[in-house]
Amino acid sequence: DGGITQSPKYLFRKEGQNVTLSCEQNLNHDAMYWYRQDPGQGLRLIYYSQIVNDFQKGDIAEGYSVSREKKESFPLTVTSAQKNPTAFYLCASSIGSQLIYEQYFGPGTRLTVT
Amino acid sequence: AQKVTQAQTEISVVEKEDVTLDCVYETRDTTYYLFWYKQPPSGELVFLIRRNSFDEQNEISGRYSWNFQKSTSSFNFTITASQVVDSAVYFCALSESMNYGGSQGNLIFGKGTKLSVKP
């Protein structure tokens, strides 16, 4: 089935540790995105990538890093510099870029840092 | 400044009632795109509709309809004859296509409206 895979669904880490969230898509989409969702809040864009080996910061990129070595994969690293990393993280992709196309979302990863 | 306001935090209706979810936006751009997404309890957002700023025609898709009014900067979403499966959080989003300050455009989500449909 075509779609977006995020793993794991739940992730627990100790404060001070870096953690990498996985996102894979088999939709052959050019653009991929990472969002953060906090309770009662909308989605906030962390990073997005329009093509392989290129990515741009979103509204809340501080404390996060990404890579886009393959079209299918866009992993997100939550570093120890992120002051409040506990959140629900959603990955998405779209056929075109520039943030004007409909996006298709993965099931999300709920990260808890204690 | 770019902004999306969904003033209704939570709405509760009984099955078969009609319900309208409000979305008001602010933008300085003349070319922009509006979206609605549904987030069921499973967490995965589902795309519902995209509308560009030059297309003010209302749209109907089954029990769903959308009313886009540029004069009031609103893009409201109506569910007719609601069903329990419509229970979810619904997000309105705005994307500007213009390149301001070196960025490649921007995409802003509202805070969402939680809809509960009771049997």
Smallest CA–CA separation between B18 and chain A, in Å? 24
Question: Is the Cβ pair A100, B43 closer than 8 Å?
Answer: no
A99 vs B4, B107, B112: nearest CB:
B107
At residue A73, the 3 state secondary structure works out as: strand
Q: Cα–chain-centroid distance for residue B69? A: 13
| Residues across chain B | 119
Question: Residue B107 has what pLDDT?
Answer: 83
What pLDDT is recorded for position A1?
Answer: 63
Whether chain A has a CB inside 8 Å of the CB on B107: the answer is yes
pLDDT tens digit at each of 119 positions of chain B: 789 999 999 999 999 999 999 999 999 888 899 999 999 998 999 999 999 999 888 889 999 999 999 999 999 999 999 999 999 999 999 998 655 444 456 789 999 999 999 99
Write the CB contacts of B8 (distance below 8 Å, at least 6 apart in sequence): B21, B22, B113
Q: A11 burial class (0-12, 13-18, 19+ CB within 10 angstroms)?
A: middle
Residue B25 near residue B73, CB atoms below 8 Å: yes
Query: CA–CA separation, A20 vs A11, rounded Å?
Result: 10
pLDDT value of position A20 = 95
Residue A19 tokens read as: 């953690």
Give me the pLDDT at residue B103, please. 47
| pLDDT at res. B96 | 83
Chain A CB within 8 Å of residue B8 CB: no
- Name the maximum alpha-carbon separation found in chain A: 38
Residue ranges in chain A modelled with pLDDT below 70 = 1-2
